[in-house]
Amino acid sequence: MDLSLLSKIVFSVALSSCAQLLLKAGMSRPSVQHGIADGMGWAGAQAIAGSPMVWLGLGLYFAGAVVWLLVLARVPVSQAYPFVGLGFVLVMLLGWALQGDVISPARLLGTLLISVGVVLVARS
């Protein structure tokens, strides 16, 4: 796998990981929380649709999907898809750094195991 293709894979995963954080931030806003407090009715849908962070997160997901399509055009899915596991690592680290998420020993070990699996697949 050449460096250009590997860069596209990592970029796609990074976009999707950042999208997760933006979606979480958008859904955690008081206006959205209030809108969905009584279930996912009209008020909840309006609150979500009115959240710029949710829209930005969805936009990043879309951009990540476009890049991922370019990857899939050149790499077998069985070789490319394990790299999606890097998203677990990135989201864990960004969640810890930006949102104060707690990283338990079990979560850290699980994430390290995912990382080892990604490396093994990348080298095959």
pLDDT of the residue at 98: 92
pTM: 0.86
Q: In the structure encoding, which two tokens stand for residue 98, read together?
A: 């930006």
Q: What is the pLDDT of residues 5-52, one digit of tens each?
A: 999 999 999 999 999 999 999 999 999 999 898 777 888 899 999 999
What does R_g of the chain's alpha carbons equal in angstroms? 17
91 φ, ψ to 5°? -65, -40
**Beta carbons of 93 and 65 less than 8 angstroms apart:** no
pLDDT at 80 (0 to 100):
87
| Residue 120 pLDDT level (bands cut at 50, 70, 90) | confident
Measured CA angle at 91 (ends 90, 95), to 5 deg: 120
The C-alpha atoms of residue 60 and residue 76 are separated, in whole angstroms, by: 24
H or E element at residue 18 = helix 3-28
Instruction: Reply yes or no on whether the pLDDT at 86 is more than 80.
Output: yes
How far, in Å, CA of 76 to CA of 118, rounded?
A: 15
Domain span including residue 56: 3-123
Q: What total of structural domains would you count in the chain?
A: 1
